[in-house]
Structure 1
Amino acid sequence: MSSAIVHLAIPAGNLAETVKFYTEVFGCTLGNSEEGRWQDVNFWGNELTLHQSEEQLPSVRHDVDMGNVLVPHFGVHLTEEDFQALKDRIAKAGLTYIDEPYRRFKGDKYEQETFFIADPNNNILEIKTMKNPEVLWP
């Protein structure tokens, strides 16, 4: 399969506050926008569009190997270096994790560290780093 950019549009609540979270905490850069209505964010090479909104998406917990996770959620796989840098920025911002960083599949080829965090509009993000990223799509 050839490489492609994923586009995801989500409700942002207060657009200015949510843009600040993605740029200052996550280190994302900005792209196209319509002032006060929506803003494109470079989400590690993918197009995340934040829409000014009144609503929040409901989330529920689903059982998986390590307990249960909030769904819906979205996220990204980062290099170990970028993952640690993001955790440092989260700590400096004084933010709280929904699910603290933890290791899954220890000793397995799919071993990874992952955490869950919410943006200002309660969109749930899962951020992870794979010990062996090449095993995902050989």
Structure 2
Amino acid sequence: MSNCLHLAIPAGDLDQAKKFYCDVLGCKTGNSEAGRWIDIDFWGNELTLHQSEEALPKVRHDVDMGAVAVPHFGIHLNEQEFQALKARIEAAGLTYLDKPYRRFVGSKYEQETLFIEDPNGNVLEMKTMVNPEVLFKVE
């Protein structure tokens, strides 16, 4: 596993967090220390959820499509995986922090994105790009 991102976040109650990340988002678990932390395979990246009392403070930053919650993290998915994830989120009865919407319509950067919160209030942005190959192309 090379070039794997590792991110550790406060997760509140680990049992609730595990249900969210595994049952709703479809992730798998890895190593853990009971009552302290659990590793989640977040689409090939190591997300470590720490048992915690605290949550991260959030603010909104203005970007092209409005004000987005910061900090946030997420993943780029292909269209099929993204639509399946949306279906799982809706089937679980979760409320979107920011409902799915398209940005950069008609441009090479066109994408659909959504924002949700985990049980501890960590914000996740999930997206799918029409042309993912342009993501890091410098022009």
- Shorter-chain TM band: over 0.9
Q: 1:1-138, aligned counterparts within 5 Å?
A: 4-138=3-137
Identity of aligned residues (%): 71
Which residue identity lines up with residue 42 of structure 1 in the other structure? D
- CA root-mean-square deviation: 0.7
Tell me, which stretches of 5 or more residues in structure 1 are unaligned? Answer: none
Render the CA deviation track for 1:40-61: whole Å, top value 9, x for unaligned: 0000000000000000001000
Relative to the length of structure 1, the TM-score reads 0.97
Shift of 1:130: 0.3
Tell me, which stretches of 5 or more residues in structure 2 are unaligned? Answer: none
Taking the aligned partners of 1:127 and 1:92, their CA distance within structure 2 comes to 17
Number of positions where the alignment pairs a residue of Structure 1 with one of Structure 2: 136
Which residue identity lines up with residue 89 of structure 1 in the other structure? R
Q: Which 4+ runs in 1 deviate beyond 6 A?
A: none
Render the CA deviation track for 1:2-29: whole Å, top value 9, x for unaligned: x610000000000110011000000000
SS at match of 1:20: helix
Shift of 1:35: 0.6
